[in-house]
Chains A and B, each alone.
Chain A
Amino acid sequence: MSKILMKGNEAIAEAAIRSGCRLYFAYPITPQSELIEYMAKMMPKVKGTFIQAESEVAAINMVYGAAGSGKRVMTSSSSPGISLKMEGLSYIAGAELPCVVVNVQRGGPGLGDIQPAQGDYFQATKGGGHGDYRLIVLAPSSVQEFADMASEAFDLADKYRNPVMILADGMLGQMMEPVEFKPAKTDAELQELANQHLSWCICPNEDGAKKHHHEINSLELDPQVLEQHVLGLLKKYAEIQKNEIRYETYNISDENEVLCVAWGTASRVVKSAINEVQKQGKSVGLIRPIRVWPYPYEAIKQVIGKNVKKVYVFELNSGQMVEDVKIAVEGKVPVDFWGKVGGVVFTPAEIKEKLEECF
């Protein structure tokens, strides 16, 4: 299939449909509007469901119902709207339901602005909603990767019965890049997907079969029983940490004196800056977490064990992922942070200057 020039918001919507998503519930918000509009246009063409919900809260609870019915379902929003979805996400995680949530981040806090930012890292990776739970969080850095993450996200959600967030930003949502799509699921594959959760989800009782009573629920008043349930979740999260860490290395070698860590849009700028300082004979490597939960602590640990004198973290926030980097580094080398807040994106020249100061 040939490449198409497309906005990230449209690419993720198209890729979700190709991945078998036939239910989408959302509320309009900038800078993700192209996503909801694409779904409004395309869902009827594939006999899918599109509902513009009355609120983000209603949208995520429609997701809860559809996910509890064992079907592939997605919602999307941007930062302030994602905050509203946090109640529902906690219930979805507690009830162990598979779904995909896209966050096209913008500047905050509060109403903030509508420019690209990475200020929702803590919310996505450390909680956001109440209680002990985790989202699997995928962090794309290009339109192609944004699209590719759709099928990955649905597969992970189905495999672990856990909500998966794709943590993008306004830059990736609005930017046009060439994208190549995977073939759409065939009818046979869609049928297989439709049947994979019948042992626990809301579904009709087959004639003559033993009557089932499936409960989609996160309530348990007996603390000992709830403890066992949460311990079960923790076991699942440990399994996810064992199997599902993904990161990219860029210019990593034994000669690296500085190790950069950056994710999403920020990592693209850092790569450009690394190319520049490399010309001056300065060895700088980059680790880019492709998934920010589970986090690649071990990968960072291994690189700093070599020649690295300093770790430099660049983010489009006031310093959030840097806390995970510090956990990985364990104080063995200094960890510096530089970022931009309020929806301002740093330039390669600014990062280059910061890197040059390290030598």
Chain B
Amino acid sequence: MEIIAKRPEALTKEPFHYCPGCMHGVAHRLIAEAIDENGLINQIAGVAPVGCAVFAYKYFNCDMAEAAHGRAPAVATGIKRARPDMHIFTYQGDGDLAAIGTAEIVHSANRGEKISVFFVNNAIYGMTGGQMAPTTLPNMKTTTSPYGRNVDDIGYPIRMCELLATLVAPYYIERVSLLSPADIIRAKKAVNKAIRYNKENRGFTFIEFISTCPTNWGYEPEQARQWAKENMLPFFKLGVYRDKGEGVE
């Protein structure tokens, strides 16, 4: 019998702890497949965030560091500078990366650190139970915006790809979605490219995944994906914001 699909070598045998319908598992798998396909399993290390993916250090089958909340890009900087022959990625959620860790992501991007950042945006804090994120949409209800996000009071969601694309140094910035099989195939190509650029030490690479949180949004998984397509994609436009390898500046 021919094996046509199997667990990537870059994932450990540890079962994921994620909720039913969560897309973190898909994002993990895409990164792991890209590590395998680029032959980087022995030279790569990752940095896990604080948030739902806090246990990512158990799942990726390479050396991993667990960072304090928001600090993953600084930790990745330290690792990459200490071990320039290795290839380093971070995996972060929206609260981690776009709220408490805003300084670290902006400045690691601005230095053009030769790392890959994988950013999962589901517009909510999942692990702590559904609080407002920096990417929570206007009027969206969360446990800390119970009347809906009031943009006059707390401002608008932050678009990280657009923000980072104002900087000169970043090499590759793309926003992809995990909301349909076709989107996931496109996301896989982007992740692969980021890991390839990382392997070639081209510069700072950043992939944002538009994702869902069925548990804290209070939707069935399919409903959640539909809601995200209708509400998140108009605000967070998919596409390539920078790709120096392809001449997109």
**Taking beta carbons and an 8 Å cutoff, which residues of B are in contact with A?**
12, 41-43, 45, 47, 54, 57-58, 61-68, 71, 74-83, 85-86, 103-104, 106-107, 111
Indicate if the CB atoms of B57 and A62 lie closer than 8 Å: no
Asked whether any CB of chain B lies closer than 8 Å to the CB of A214, the reply is yes
Indicate if the CB atoms of A51 and B82 lie closer than 8 Å: no
Smallest CB separation, B60 vs chain A (Å): 8
Return the contact of B63 from the options A53, A59, A202 (Cβ within 8 A). A202
Indicate if the CB atoms of B43 and A204 lie closer than 8 Å: yes
Indicate if the CB atoms of B74 and A61 lie closer than 8 Å: yes
Smallest CB separation, A73 vs chain B (Å): 7
Indicate if the CB atoms of B57 and A61 lie closer than 8 Å: no
Bound CA span A33–B107, Å? 21
The residues of B that contact A207 with a CB separation of less than 8 Å are 42
Segment 71-103 of A: residues with Cβ below 8 Å from B: 71, 73, 87-88, 91, 95
Indicate if the CB atoms of A213 and B79 lie closer than 8 Å: no
Known: A58-B74, A61-B71. A216 touches B42 (CB 8 A): no
Indicate if the CB atoms of A51 and B75 lie closer than 8 Å: no
Known: A53-B74, A204-B43. A64 touches B82 (CB 8 A): no
The residues of A that contact B57 with a CB separation of less than 8 Å are 215, 217
Smallest CB separation, B199 vs chain A (Å): 13
Known: A203-B63, A204-B85, A216-B66. A69 touches B79 (CB 8 A): yes
> Which interface residue of A68, A205, A211 has the most chain B CB atoms within 10 A?
A68
Asked whether any CB of chain B lies closer than 8 Å to the CB of A57, the reply is yes
The residues of A that contact B64 with a CB separation of less than 8 Å are 213-217
The residues of B that contact A23 with a CB separation of less than 8 Å are 78, 81-82
The residues of B that contact A55 with a CB separation of less than 8 Å are 103
> In the complex, how many residue pairs between chain A and chain B have their CB atoms under 8 Å apart?
131
Bound CA span A337–B43, Å? 57
Indicate if the CB atoms of B74 and A65 lie closer than 8 Å: yes
Return the contact of A202 from the options B12, B45, B54, B77 (Cβ within 8 A). B45
Indicate if the CB atoms of B103 and A54 lie closer than 8 Å: yes
The residues of A that contact B111 with a CB separation of less than 8 Å are 51
The 4 closest A-B pairs by CB, nearest first: A65-B78, A61-B74, A69-B82, A205-B42
Chain A residue at minimal CB-CB distance from B71? A61
The residues of A that contact B71 with a CB separation of less than 8 Å are 57-58, 61, 64, 88
Indicate if the CB atoms of B68 and A91 lie closer than 8 Å: yes
Known: A54-B107, A204-B43. A63 touches B66 (CB 8 A): no
Contacts A51-B77, A64-B71, A65-B80 known; list 13 others, CB within 8 Å.
A25-B78, A54-B104, A57-B104, A65-B47, A65-B78, A69-B79, A73-B82, A202-B86, A204-B83, A207-B42, A213-B12, A217-B65, A219-B66
Bound CA span A332–B106, Å? 58
The residues of A that contact B83 with a CB separation of less than 8 Å are 69, 71, 202-204
The residues of B that contact A211 with a CB separation of less than 8 Å are 41-42, 61
Bound CA span A88–B71, Å? 9
Indicate if the CB atoms of A61 and B82 lie closer than 8 Å: no
Indicate if the CB atoms of A204 and B86 lie closer than 8 Å: yes
7 contacts between A and B (CB under 8 A): A65-B81, A67-B78, A88-B68, A204-B42, A211-B61, A214-B63, A217-B64
